[in-house]
Amino acid sequence: MMPASPIRKLVPFSEEAKKRGTKVYHLNIGQPDIETPENVMNTIRNIDLKVLEYSHSAGLISYRKKLVEYYKRVGIDVTTEEMIVTTGGSEAILFALNSCLDPGDEIIIPEPFYANYNGFAMTSGVVVKPIDSVIENGFALPPMSAFEQAITPRTKAIMICNPNNPTGYLYSKDELESLRKIVLEHDLFLFSDEVYREFTYDGRQHFSVMNLEGIDDNVILLDSISKRYSACGARIGVLISKNKEVICTAMKFAQARLSPPTFGQIAGEEAINTPDSYFTRVLEEYHDRRNIVVESINKMPGCFCPVPGGAFYAVARLPIDDSDKFCQWLLEDFSFEGQTVMLAPATGFYSTKGRGLDEVRISYVLNVNDLKKAMKCLEEALKVYPGRKVTH
């Protein structure tokens, strides 16, 4: 059965809370309040088309050429023939799964992981084999022995998200080099979701799997403009691989759905012209937001939140009995000064039942003042939550 989205399943409860006059701070969904770059919005406003045509199934060639420029700037060498533009990063994931794995094949993913990987795997008949990453070390890549133990004759791929959603963990070059050895030894595909590439903190640098040597045929890069340019509604992603057979197979799926959205591709093409100053401002803003969330939670009795190295998410451990109940209770039964906070229960980011019961994912996508108020709501909520665990 298709799993419910942990990010969106509580929406009816937030709508009811709003009807009662309660202000809801949305920290449940990765929808930034950052403005889409002005140059992108101006391009959309001034599109002058007589006919809104299909594009090439792999995407507009002008956009793919522009993507080659973008990837070159971030140190990744690809050609227009090695990419397929998709309807959001979601379709890129689906194409990758359907192109590289058969029904019943297995994919290893460190958990917690982006909830929709589960749904996409289910749609493709693929079996997710989760391995544990833990909050105590900030959700670092699990030891290679855990990957080795999870490999069976049906294992065909490993998937990572870097920087990670939901944890914000940024995998180091050394961690990725360890993965490279396993991928080579067992001849597995390595899927890497790098949609948060631009968002890294404290002087850390992002390292792409596309730059791991000797595994060009194994690597599938999944990307999107949604978070990079705060353009979630454009629905434009891309699948990239140097493996010609993978691209050829994915192209069959691309042709079956005809083409990605034309308006979104025009927006994506212009987005690559966005000045660096935009990212400088955005990164500073997210850095401040991250610090507010992490510092606030770590001051609350019985709470722990590791410091994320990238993206704009954090997973926090709270003294609660059940994160699903708690997140629903926040919307149904709690308010502080006419306000409450909407979080995503971490249970939905785990494939293993029973994990994440005392964890929530927080998207720090609101402005600093709203985040401070949201953190105050959370602090007050934990004082009166009926299912609070006793901490020492």
- Domains of the chain: residue spans and CATH: 11-35+277-384 (3.90.1150.10), 51-271 (3.40.640.10)
The pLDDT of residue 246 is 98
Percent of the chain with pLDDT over 90: 95
pLDDT in tens, 218-267: 999 999 999 999 999 999 999 999 999 999 999 999 999 999 999 999 99
Where do we find the tokens 């050895």?
Answer: 181
Statement: residue 392 has pLDDT above 60: no
Asked if 366 contacts 26 with a C-beta cutoff of 8 angstroms, the reply is yes
Which of 262-278 are b and which e, b meaning 16 or more Cβ less than 10 Å from the residue's Cβ? bebbbbbbbbbebeeeb
pLDDT in tens, 292-342: 999 999 999 999 999 999 999 999 999 999 999 999 999 999 999 999 999
pLDDT in tens, 141-155: 999 999 999 999 999
Q: Using pLDDT thresholds of 50, 70 and 90, give the confidence band for residue 7.
A: low
Statement: residue 159 has pLDDT above 60: yes
Average pLDDT, the chain: 96
What is the identity of the amino acid at 313?
Y
The pLDDT of residue 37 is 98
Element holding 85 (H helix, E strand): strand 83-86
How far separated are the first and last CA of the chain, in Å rounded?
40
The Cα 313–Cα 360 span in angstroms is 10
Query: What is the arrangement of strands in the sheet containing 344-345, beginning at the earlier edge strand?
Result: 313-317, 359-363, 344-345
Query: What 3-state class would DSSP assign to 26?
Result: strand
This model's pTM is above 0.85: yes
